């Protein structure tokens, strides 16, 4: 069994720390807080993608006020005939090919919803974030405060 360095999910690794660890062992995955509402680990995710390191977003379904009834995520979900959780998970999945979300699933219904989120991505015309954002607002992205929804190429 390969050695594993385990840090609490409350701790967020930086690019520099990943690089430092990489001098001693191959970093296979990184788990940082990351979701639609909290994207402070963008640089870490980009580093992981560039180096083939899996990225496990901690708390991937959190969407804060965006998911409130009438909020931005709720509006997008209705347009896609999906739930806010499905759209939040689909957004996380489309963000990077090294993304490995593990959404909490305590009920079969939640598992079924998460599975559908993966299928939303399969319908590229339905979840082309720049495309549906443009349809909803006439702009290439949707914004609320500092949060922008839109496809960000990797």
pTM over 0.85? The answer is: no
Q: Which residues face 58 on adjacent strands?
A: 33
Domains of the chain: 15-149 (3.20.20.100)
Angstrom distance (rounded) from CA 49 to CA 96? 7
How does pLDDT run across 86-102, given as a tens digit for each residue? 888 888 888 889 999 98
How does pLDDT run across 35-86, given as a tens digit for each residue? 888 889 999 999 999 999 999 998 888 877 777 888 777 887 887 788 888 8
Angstrom distance (rounded) from CA 79 to CA 29? 34
Q: Which residues face 33 on adjacent strands?
A: 58
Angstrom distance (rounded) from CA 121 to CA 124? 6
Q: Which residues have a Cβ under 8 Å from the Cβ of 141 and sit 6 or more positions away? A: 129, 130, 133, 148, 149, 150
How does pLDDT run across 96-124, given as a tens digit for each residue? 899 999 888 888 988 888 888 877 755 54
């Amino acid at each position: 069994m390969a050695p594993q360095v385990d840090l609490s999910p409350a701790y967020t690794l930086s690019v520099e720390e990943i690089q430092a660890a990489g001098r001693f062992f191959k970093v296979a995955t990184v788990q940082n807080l990351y979701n639609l509402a909290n994207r402070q680990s963008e640089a870490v995710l980009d580093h992981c993608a560039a180096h083939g390191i899996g990225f496990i977003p901690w708390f991937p379904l959190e969407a804060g006020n965006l998911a409130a009834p009438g909020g931005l995520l709720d509006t997008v979900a209705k347009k896609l005939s999906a739930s806010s959780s499905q759209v939040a998970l689909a957004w996380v999945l489309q963000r990077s090919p090294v993304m490995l979300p593990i959404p909490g699933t305590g009920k079969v219904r939640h598992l079924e919803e998460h599975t559908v989120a993966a299928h939303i991505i399969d319908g590229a015309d339905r979840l082309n974030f720049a495309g549906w954002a443009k349809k909803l607002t006439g702009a290439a992205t949707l914004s609320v405060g500092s949060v922008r929804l839109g496809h960000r190429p990797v």
